[in-house]
Structure formats: C-alpha cells, structure tokens
Amino acid sequence: MKIKILRQAMPDSQPYWQEFRYERKENQTVAGMLEELNYKDDLTDISGHPARRIQWECSCLQGMCGACAMVINNRPALACETFLRDSGDGTVTLEPLRKFPTVCDLVVDRGIIQENLKKVSAYIGEYREADPKEYEHMYAAGKCLKCGLCLEVCPNYDGGRTFFGAAFANDCYLIASRSGSMEASVREAYGEHFAKGCSKALSCVDVCPMKIPTLASIAKMNRGQGGKK
C-alpha cells in the first residue's frame, strides 16, 4: 500500500509530500506502521531515495494519552486507533493537525490548550465538594486527553486566539463543579471564550476518541449562566 505523508523539517521550513510503500497488514494500526517504517536504518521513499525517519509523537499506543493525534485520510484521529484495513483504496494520507504550529513532520505544538487555561486563571482554588448528582458526568468530562482533535475539527476554533474550544468548555465545567472561590471567574471566562463563539456544530462530539458528552457540559454551564448562550 502507499503511505503519503506531509513532512516539514523545521517549524519555519516549507512542507512537502513524501510517499512510502508498505506491505499492508489488515490488523496493523497507523501507529504500528509508522513504527515499522522508522525501524529501518535505510528508510527510502517510494522512488528509492533515502529518507530521514518520520517524526511523530506517541506514548501509550492504547488510545489513552492522545499524543498520536494527526489527520488521517482527511479526518482527525489517533494513529493508534486507526487501522490500515479501513484505508479503502489502499492509500493512507497523513498530515499534522492543521490548527496547531508544526514542530516537525507530524509533531505539533498543542501548548495553547494549557496556555489558555492559565491566561484566564482557570483553576479550582478553594475546593468544595461537588454535587453527587454530577459525579457521573464529571468522570466522563475528566477523560479529556487534550489531544486537540476537537479543536482541529471545530469550524469556530481560530488557533485559540479568542475562542478556546470544546476542551476548554469541559475544563470549565469540571472547575465550576468543584471550586468554591474561582467558579464565578471561570464561568465568566467560559462565556467570553466559548459560549459566545460556539455555533453548536458539535463536530467535537463526533471526533472525540473518549466519547465525552461535551454537549452536556455545555448545557450545564449555560444553565449556570442564567440561560446565556
């Protein structure tokens, strides 16, 4: 099969496409395929030219860390959960997440997710016990991997300049549920940097690898703001 990768040597260099051949294995994941390609000391592209190892991120390889997020065949996904058997015509196209700065090849800088939380001082502060009725949803919202897939697919996300996206909305819900001192300021930040800019496309829910019910987080936060949208 053919593996087509959008590569970029450095953050300020020009991206380029490079293709590789790979012996298709039905139960192999994209992550496994990248590992096998990089295992070769003499990696060559589809034309037989020497190629440097492919830069990408991974950690758990079990869908639990979100490190291997990338765009696979035009859809944001985790490489460790995407199988080659689902590649259709036998070609796999890999690109870095487009809404984050590229570091090298498929590696991007997702630091903006944490930076935006710091920017609005989104932290628990004085802790208070959450309503037991919220435990089930808090557990679901707390599964967020910060992988960035929800931001990649969101039509409103602009790189985190003003609209912070679904991951931020879930964090705001978790903080507001447990904070005794920061709840008001976190709800204000939620209104300014999420509620005001969300068009309810809900593509974030469809693409989330942890199946987080973000719509429920949004509804709970909106109710807490007195019905503001």
User: Which pair of structure tokens corresponds to residue 208?
Assistant: 């989330």
Phi, psi torsion values for 102, nearest 5 degrees: -80, 130
Specify the higher pLDDT residue, 228 or 63.
63
Residue-wise pLDDT for 206-220, tens only, equals 999 999 999 999 999
Q: Which amino acid type is present at position 211?
A: K
How many C-beta atoms lie closer than 10 Å to residue 223's C-beta?
10
User: Which pair of structure tokens corresponds to residue 123?
Assistant: 């932290």
- Give the C-alpha separation, 187 to 197, whole Å: 14
The CATH number given to 2-108 is 3.10.20.30
Mean pLDDT, residues 46-50: 96
Residue holding tokens 């931020």? 168
Question: What is each CA distance from 189 to 100, 127, 178, 184, 223, in whole angstroms?
Answer: 22, 19, 16, 9, 15
Q: What is the mean pLDDT of the chain?
A: 94
Report CA torsion sign: 147, 143, 211, 220.
negative
Question: What is each CA distance from 142 to 11, 136, 215, 217, in whole angstroms?
Answer: 32, 10, 14, 11
pTM above 0.75, yes or no: yes
Residue-wise pLDDT for 113-161, tens only, equals 999 999 999 999 899 999 999 999 999 999 999 999 999 999 999 999 9
Domain positions in the chain: 2-108, 112-224
pLDDT of residue 24: 85
Fold of 112-224: Fumarate Reductase Iron-sulfur Protein; Chain B, domain 2 (1.10.1060)
Q: Which amino acid type is present at position 43?
A: L
DSSP secondary structure, 125-172, as one string? -SB-PPPGGGHHHHHHHTT----SHHHHH-SS--SSSS---HHHHHHH
